[in-house]
Amino acid sequence: MTIAVCPGSFDPVTLGHLDVIRKASAIFDEVIAVVVHNPDKAPFFTLAQRMQLLEASVSESGIDGVSVDSLESGLLADYCNARGAGAIVKGVRSNMDIGYELPMAYVNENLSGIQTVFMLPRPEYGHVSSSLVRQVAELGGDPSAYVPRAVLQMLPNRAQ
């Protein structure tokens, strides 16, 4: 049985993230989607909020075999070992994502031997990012094509 961990800041979870989680769940026996504290980013939503939104979004999307967890501190590689995970799954949309993800994948492999599997989101989500979603919402635009319903309700300036 192979467990995969899908880690990320999920600030907030987007339909692109959910698409990758769905694809991972079709390949791996069990998927743990983990909201991770990234010390390089100042979060918009708290860790607890991000986890709650991820839980609600996974639940409303009806994806089977996925649990949600959080990692507030420590190495992702250690978390994966502790959970018996055999792979990390990350979504990549572009060369820029590859450039960002490769060093992390190498470091995680060096730390614990764990492999990172890269998956493509569907093309319609190839430009969707949490930061763009936040910006569109904050400036009064409609981000509903990019986020699950649970997230839409929590974003600033949402339509009434």
Question: What is the binding site for ligand PNS (CB under 6 A)?
Answer: 7-9, 36, 38, 41, 75-77, 104, 107-108
| CA 33 vs CA 21, 50, 135, 143: distances in Å | 7, 11, 24, 23
Catalytic residue among 22, 57, 130, 134: 130
State the nearest-atom distance from the C-beta of 160 to ligand PNS, in Å: 30
DSSP-derived secondary structure letter, 41: S
State the nearest-atom distance from the C-beta of 80 to ligand PNS, in Å: 9
- Edge-first strand order for the sheet with 3-8 is 66-71, 30-36, 3-8, 85-91, 115-119
25 catalytic per annotation: no
Q: Which is nearer to ligand PNS, 33 or 63 (CB)?
A: 33
Query: Nearest-CA neighbor of 67 among 121, 20, 21?
Result: 21
17 catalytic per annotation: yes
Q: Which is nearer to ligand PNS, 84 or 140 (CB)?
A: 84
Catalytic residue among 17, 22, 50, 134: 17
Catalytic residue among 37, 83, 93, 158: 93
Q: Which residues contact 52 (CB under 8 A, 6 or more apart)?
A: none
Q: Which is nearer to ligand PNS, 26 or 102 (CB)?
A: 102
Token reading at 94: 């572009």
Query: Nearest-CA neighbor of 68 among 78, 81, 80, 59?
Result: 59
Report CA torsion sign: 113, 93, 96, 52: negative
State the nearest-atom distance from the C-beta of 140 to ligand PNS, in Å: 25
90 catalytic per annotation: no
State the nearest-atom distance from the C-beta of 113 to ligand PNS, in Å: 14
122 catalytic per annotation: no
Residues taking part in catalysis? 17, 41, 93, 130
